[in-house]
Amino acid sequence: MRLRLLGIAIASFVILAQAPQPPTKLAPAKPQAATPTTAHVPQIVHVPPDEVVAILGQPVAGPDGKTIGRLIDVLVNEDGNPSAAVIDVGGFMGVGARKIAVHWTALHFAPGATRQPISLDWTIDQIKAAPEYGSATRPAPVVVAAPKPEPPAKPVIPAPPKPSAPPHSPPVQSSPPVQSSPPTQTGNPSRPSPLPPSGTR
Amino acid sequence: MPRDGTLPGHGSRALDLLNFFVADVQTGFGAFVAVYLTMHKWTQIEIGTVLSAGTVFALVSQIPAGALVDAVAHKRIVAAWGLGGIFVSAVLLALWPTELPVLVAQVLHAVASSVITPAIAAISLHLVGRPGLGERLGRNARYAAIGTALSAVVLGAGGDLVSSRVVFWLTAVLCVPALATLPAIGHGVYARRQTTVQPFDWQGLRGLFGDRRLLVFAGAITLFHLANADMLPLAGATVTMRAGSFANVIIAACIMVPQSVVALASPAVGRVAARLGRRPVLLLGWAALPLQGVLLAVLPGVWFVVAVQLVAGVSAAVFGVMLPLISADLTRGTSHFNLCMGVLGLAVTIGATLSTLLGGWLAEEVSMSAAFLGLAAAGLAGVLVVWAAMPETGD
């Protein structure tokens, strides 16, 4: 199935901590807090601040806890599920920063944490090797392969990254151009369909 | 003879400080604005829009700003207005990182910068006159380089350790000492002779725009910045790609190294240009760029990238002195010195804007090495233009 990623500029993207989280980290959040009690009456649901985290513009911590960059965009698929995050890494006073797109499952979120609620479980070498992410209007090189040191990369809920996987997913990374198109021009049929990183249910 | 700026008089020291503080207040407005807005949840599209608005206003304001500085007899008042604009711009950014204030701040900063650069050159000319201008411009570049290097470190550390807003508050605060230097510079002994008498000097205007040397130099400058502007950002991205966790320290070094060279070499550039002529100095500075591009394309590792910045310092030192110096050459006997700087400033802005597009496109579509080689090719074209078509403009 052809996957369409919509690179969407999301003003304040709030993830429910429960949704696309690898089950390894974090005790599963309590979904009942966000469940409406009645089905008919429109209700305002108050999500406690320790269950969600605003991510746009937030620093992303690397494996050693040091900030490696900032999360600047989220790429979602047809179903609205996040497929990848664009992170602005490195740089000094804005010079030398580069954007990389990482697979959503490589990120971990700690909604309650005051410092660095977002972390990326990649090694520095993996971050260095990631290709530059251009813009949402062109094929996006999203690094899809889950990093080695994380064994349970498979049981991720929204992203079984296998069904039509070309034989090019060694454990470290490869960078197939994931189709990413602006909402108007949805996908280019002439392009070979790359490995769908997520959303294929 | 030694009165021509070689004596570090009172006004001369104040002008040193003006260059130092103006460089300080400009540092935060560079690439950092994008980082700052990202931290305030701006999307990439919104950031691109306001930055483009700033670029457009920088383009259209260059020539009118030059003409304005020419028309006003009191150049220090124009400089004060420019600094005031930068102050307001910094305060707006620090207080309200939201759409309208940031847009106003970007536009205000673009216009203010277009005014300040020619105003400082005009103040320098008033202070030392034409004979001492080369050396004076060298000193300007020296103190500006020291200001840029120091403020990059201080603002970078402040932005990291305290908050990103601190960068713009410090910028606003530093406008105050910059303004305070203006009265101390004094009127300038050469002010009378250099200031325009008639506001519309059609003869001189026609002479300036019909001058083939202006066209050639503007072309050489466009090619110079086409090669130059994206070189440091791409070198920084290379460092980020190769260095990992210490990348920011190494990029800071990449910013400091060329500024140190400029601080050391600029006065010599001014002196040599006055003694041996402009052409050899121009050729040296222009030739440093393609060399830098080729070296960055072929050398591995990160420390080589830092070392190559020494070469970048040579081209920066030459450029910083030669743009105002040749403007003064081309407008000798007319009252269009700053208009000429505005025209050349337009060439700088066009070249720099295209450089970002060219470098980014090559890096994305082909490779980083291709991007460096592409920029080097533009630099080489600039060398050829200077070598083949640029006559000696000194006396």
**Tens of pLDDT, residues B101-118:** 999 999 999 999 999 999
> B44 CB near a chain A CB, below 8 Å?
yes
Residue from A67, A70, A92 to probe the interface with B (highest B Cβ count within 10 Å): A92
Say whether pLDDT at B252 is over 50: yes
- pLDDT tens digits, B70-102: 888 788 889 999 999 999 999 999 999 888 999
- Phi, psi of B144, deg, nearest 5: -65, -40
More confident residue, A31 or B385: B385
Number of H helices, E strands in chain A: 1, 12
Residue A144, helix vs strand vs coil: coil
Q: How far is CA A175 from the centre of its chain?
A: 15
* Alpha-carbon span A88 to B47, nearest angstrom: 14
Chain A residues with CB under 8 Å of B35 CB are: 70, 88, 91, 93-94, 97
Residue type present at position A79: D
Average confidence (pLDDT) over B286-299: 91
* pLDDT value at residue B199: 59
Q: Please check whether residue B155 touches A, CB under 8 A.
A: yes
Regions in chain A scoring below 50 on pLDDT: 1-34, 147-201
Contacting residues of A for B251, CB less than 8 Å apart = 90-92, 95-96
Q: What is the mean pLDDT of residues B369-385?
A: 93
Confidence at residue A193, expressed as pLDDT on a 0 to 100 scale:
38
Mutate which of B27, B41, B98, B234 to test chain A, going by most A C-beta atoms within 10 A?
A: B41
Cα–Cα distance measured from residue B103 to residue B89, given in angstroms and rounded to the nearest whole number: 10
Residue predicted with more confidence, A189 or B364: B364
pLDDT in tens, B168-202: 998 999 999 999 888 878 777 776 655 555 556 67
Determine the distance in angstroms separating the CA of B111 from the nearest CA of chain A, rounded to an integer.
22
* pLDDT at residue number B261: 93
pLDDT at B378: 93
Q: What's the pLDDT at B243?
A: 79
Q: Taking residues B296-319, report their average pLDDT.
A: 88
**Mind telling me how many Å the CA of A57 is from chain B's nearest CA?**
5
Coil vs helix vs strand at B212: helix
- Whether the CB-CB separation of B253 and B305 falls below 8 Å is answered with no
Whole-angstrom Cα distance, residue A59 to residue A76? 20
Could you report the predicted ipTM of this complex, rounded to two decimals? 0.72
| High-pLDDT (> 70) share of chain B, % | 94
| pTM of full prediction above 0.95 | no
Q: Of A39-53, B159-173, B215-229, where does the model show the most confidence? A: B215-229
What is the arithmetic mean of pLDDT over B115-134? 88
Is the pLDDT confidence value at B51 over 60? Answer: yes
CB pairs under 8 A between A and B: 113
Could you give the CA distance from residue B335 to residue B343 in angstroms, rounded to a whole number? 14
Specify the pLDDT at position A30: 47
- Answer with the residue of higher pLDDT: A162 or B297: B297
pLDDT, residue A196, reads: 40
**Of residues B141 and B10, which shows the higher confidence score?**
B141
pLDDT for A174 equals: 39
| CB within 8 Å: B44 and A132 | no
- Please state, rounded to an integer, the average pLDDT across all residues of chain B: 86
